[in-house]
Chain A
Amino acid sequence: MPSILPKQLRTSRLPALLIALAIGLASPIAQADNLADIQKLMKNGQYPQALEKTDAYIASKPRDAQGRFMKGLILTEMNRPVDAIAVFTKLTEDYPELPEPYNNLAVLYAQQKQYDKARTALEMAIRTHPAYAIAYENLGDVYAKLASQAYDKALQLDSANSTAQGKLSLIRDLISTGNARPAGRPTTVAKPVEPPKATPTEPVKVAAAEPAKPASPPAATVAPVAAPAVAAKPIDKPAAEPAKPAGDTAAAEGEITSAVQAWAAAWSRKDVKAYLAHYAGDFQTPNGMARKAWEAERQQRIEKPGKISVSVADVKVTINGDKATVKFRQDYKSASLNSSAGKTLVMIRSGGKWLIQQERVG
């Protein structure tokens, strides 16, 4: 078993890691052994040997995210940033829903002082995984670095040697491989053989992979201001729900807005029970995580010491029968992070209450 667990690794994610390692493999034990061997070599600093073994491993499983991720790490350790960047970049293309390759890509870019690229990569990681603490921390460092560059230009400073900046954290393990699926559509005849292997229980996971999508056009979803949105609504509604009188939708809109406010309030006062009660029974957990594991993770996050403040603004609701899409800006502040991002909730009416069925950034 992997002996060098990353320090940053959240314990609650351990079960997910095990799942990750077992995925997509005819003989899970053999793969785990292989990867464990590679990790052992890495731990001993035997990078060339580790690389050799990883290459052999990948040769037999070209699409295996875990193996390729390892290769990226090894190349990083071997101080071959260009090659490592190539590996992680390819991973982000094939598995855009995985945050870890983005994070590590950002670390490499930051090492090369390409902070704008690092920022973009980290924002992608966070877009797919809004609650990804390491990426947030790294992003904070990258913002600080970008700020420092801006100050250099503003004040004609040369801060290169004066501000020792904390190094960004490289992520050592691919955690969310659980539902990693190639992004490229399998168009060739040869490929369709692969997916069935990993996907006997898939319908839920396909949906879970969706959060990766809003990545490219987030601006479009956030952009409309309050006023035009109101004007736009009547056009939406008749098409969606011609039967409902206007008063009803207005009432529903009010209920939904209050539900969102209550959800944010529960989160702010760290009332985990009340917070979780806002989620529907069929809530699509990130990466198709087990509901229990997800709840445990949320609980652990929310109960971390320190104040949390969550507020929502610019709420826009689109109602379609008993289903609603709610877009708003979420301002989140805690001891360790501070973010302001667009968020979308898909909510359903259930037993007179509006509950969250999907939650995504963008």
Chain B
Amino acid sequence: MRRVAFGGVLLTLVAVGPALPVPGKSGAPTTTYSDAGIEAQLVRIYAEIEKNKLENALNLVESLLHQHPNFRLGHLIKGDLLLARARPISTFGNATNAPQERVADLRDEAVARLKAYKQKPTNNAVPRYLLQMQPDQKHAVVVDTQKARLYLYENDKGRPRFVADYYITHGKLGADKMKEGDKKTPIGVYHVTTSLPRQKLTDFYGSGAFPINYPNEWDKRQGRNGHGIWLHGTPSDTFSRPPKASDGCVVLANTDLDALAKNLQPGLTPVIISNEIEWLSLDDWQKERAALNKTIDTWRADWESRDTDRFLRHYSKKFQAGKQGLDEFAKQKRQVNAGKEWIKVKTENLSMFRNPGKEELVVVTFEQDYRSNNLSNQMKKRQYWIREDGNWKIIYEGAA
């Protein structure tokens, strides 16, 4: 029973998560799809293999390869399907003299793609990190390195709404970058800084690149270094790269990068990279967001009160801004506040993004309009709020 055994080999890949009904007409070998996502096609191919319809499966693979001639995983499946006709095969990627590492890479890619397809985010859960997007941020990007997936969210009047998700490659040695050259992808809250068009890049970066602001203020404070972390495309000799293959960048297929690029605003679009996304129900998300908004507004009001102690209770003992620690900061505030007859503070265009990771940390960015009897100042400010003993405290602040 070589075929069944073969099906078993490939199917071990798909035994993840709840089995959803396979979309599309089962059985009929159609060659074109309106929803031509790679994952959807892979799922169909495996469904045909499961039904022992290897001929159909082969037709589907060939049609997929027709669309994406450099899709290596597709070639591997095709190889297996063809070889199964010639002789029994015992494993996924049954090529003789195949470097096991490369086969494993493609197997990982297959697993990542199929898992992601079966575990699409639902409509009533949002990534915990997207607490509040500012009105002019049209989209936000959230990356899950373990799932090898990038999720694009739309800012729907403050509520993040899922738009699309894409397969991605991240660092060879995983996530949580610490040092230059550690071949890891950073974890944190970043944003796209610029857009580098294809013409300015070598083929290696594919159809374009979007650098992000690693290392950010928090990274620097943690002693993390390195530079040049980008979202970018794929070289022309392959459709996609294995899940873990980059030097730290987040890499997308060129078609996906092009689709994503339309929604990226340099200097604005947040890119939040996590090891594994935490999802919140909309209710919980709403609560967390409201509580934090309230805290920030209390901070603002306390500043206006000119009661320096009230104001300073919002700051962590570990507060640090540049070289200034809490004591110096407090001293300076007391001096300044002594000369004030009135203070008005407005925070506008405020965003709040929770930092992925163990610490409870939120990155808050806003336009601050400060007026007082002797000084007015407008600036873009960034604060890092940390939860200490159940209370949110500012641990860093500075110009954004």
Q: Is B102 an interface residue (CB 8 A)?
A: yes
Q: Mark B7-36, 1 if CB is under 8 A from A, else 0.
A: 000000000000000000111110000000
Which residues from chain B contact A223 at a C-beta distance below 8 Å? 28-29
A311 to B96, CA, bound (A): 31
Q: A155–B93 contact, CB under 8 A? A: yes
Which residues from chain A contact B98 at a C-beta distance below 8 Å? 151, 155, 157
A222 to B97, CA, bound (A): 37
Among A146, A152, A155, the one with the most B-chain Cβ atoms within 10 Å of its Cβ is A155
Which residues from chain B contact A225 at a C-beta distance below 8 Å? 25-28
A139 to B86, CA, bound (A): 8
Q: Is B5 an interface residue (CB 8 A)?
A: no
A188 to B: closest C-beta gap in Å: 41
B55's nearest neighbour on chain A, judged by CB, is A340
A151 to B86, CA, bound (A): 15
Known: A154-B76, A223-B28, A340-B55. A147 touches B82 (CB 8 A): yes
Q: Which residues of A from 157 to 193 have beta carbons under 8 Å from B?
A: 157, 159, 162-163
A88 to B76, CA, bound (A): 33
Q: Is B72 an interface residue (CB 8 A)?
A: yes
Q: Mark A216-236, 1 if CB is under 8 A from B, else 0.
A: 000100011110000000000
The answer, among B3, B27, B29, B73, for a CB contact under 8 Å with A154, is: B73
Q: B75–A153 contact, CB under 8 A? A: yes
A148 to B98, CA, bound (A): 10
Q: A154–B79 contact, CB under 8 A? A: yes
Q: B55–A151 contact, CB under 8 A? A: no
A162 to B103, CA, bound (A): 18
Which residues from chain A contact B95 at a C-beta distance below 8 Å? 147-148, 151, 154-155, 157, 159
Known: A150-B75, A225-B25, A340-B55. A155 touches B82 (CB 8 A): no
Which residues from chain B contact A146 at a C-beta distance below 8 Å? 79, 82
A149 to B62, CA, bound (A): 13
Q: B79–A148 contact, CB under 8 A? A: yes
Which residues from chain A contact B73 at a C-beta distance below 8 Å? 154
Q: Which residues of A from 334 to 362 have beta carbons under 8 Å from B?
A: 338-340
Which residues from chain A contact B317 at a C-beta distance below 8 Å? none
Q: Is B323 an interface residue (CB 8 A)?
A: no
Q: Is B264 an interface residue (CB 8 A)?
A: no
Q: Which residues of A from 296 to 343 have beta carbons under 8 Å from B?
A: 333, 338-340
Which residues from chain A contact B81 at a C-beta distance below 8 Å? 147
Q: A144–B106 contact, CB under 8 A? A: no
The answer, among B3, B85, B93, B102, for a CB contact under 8 Å with A143, is: B85
Q: B82–A154 contact, CB under 8 A? A: no
Q: Is B2 an interface residue (CB 8 A)?
A: yes
Give the secondary structure class of B's interface: helix
Known: A140-B87, A154-B79, A340-B54. A159 touches B27 (CB 8 A): no
Known: A223-B28, A340-B54. A150 touches B96 (CB 8 A): no
A153 to B77, CA, bound (A): 11
Q: B72–A154 contact, CB under 8 A? A: yes
A343 to B: closest C-beta gap in Å: 13
Which residues from chain B contact A153 at a C-beta distance below 8 Å? 70, 72, 75
Which residues from chain A contact B75 at a C-beta distance below 8 Å? 150-154
B31's nearest neighbour on chain A, judged by CB, is A219
Q: Which residues of B from 77 to 111 have beta carbons under 8 Å from A?
A: 78-83, 85-87, 93-99, 102-103, 106
Q: B2–A338 contact, CB under 8 A? A: yes
A307 to B82, CA, bound (A): 22
Q: A140–B85 contact, CB under 8 A? A: yes
Q: Is A97 an interface residue (CB 8 A)?
A: no
Q: A162–B97 contact, CB under 8 A? A: yes
A188 to B79, CA, bound (A): 49
Q: Which residues of B from 45 to 82 have beta carbons under 8 Å from A?
A: 54-55, 70, 72-76, 78-82
Which residues from chain A contact B82 at a C-beta distance below 8 Å? 143-144, 146-147, 150
Which residues from chain A contact B76 at a C-beta distance below 8 Å? 150-151, 154-155
Q: A147–B28 contact, CB under 8 A? A: no
B106's nearest neighbour on chain A, judged by CB, is A154
A333 to B102, CA, bound (A): 32
Q: Is A141 an interface residue (CB 8 A)?
A: yes
Q: A155–B99 contact, CB under 8 A? A: yes
A114 to B: closest C-beta gap in Å: 15
A150 to B: closest C-beta gap in Å: 4
Instruction: Enumerate 13 A-B pairs (CB-CB under 8 Å) in ascending A order.
Output: A140-B87, A147-B78, A147-B83, A150-B79, A151-B95, A153-B70, A153-B72, A154-B74, A156-B72, A162-B97, A224-B28, A225-B26, A338-B85
Q: A144-B83, A146-B79 are in contact. List 7 more A-B contacts (CB 8 A).
A: A144-B87, A147-B81, A151-B79, A154-B73, A154-B76, A155-B102, A223-B29
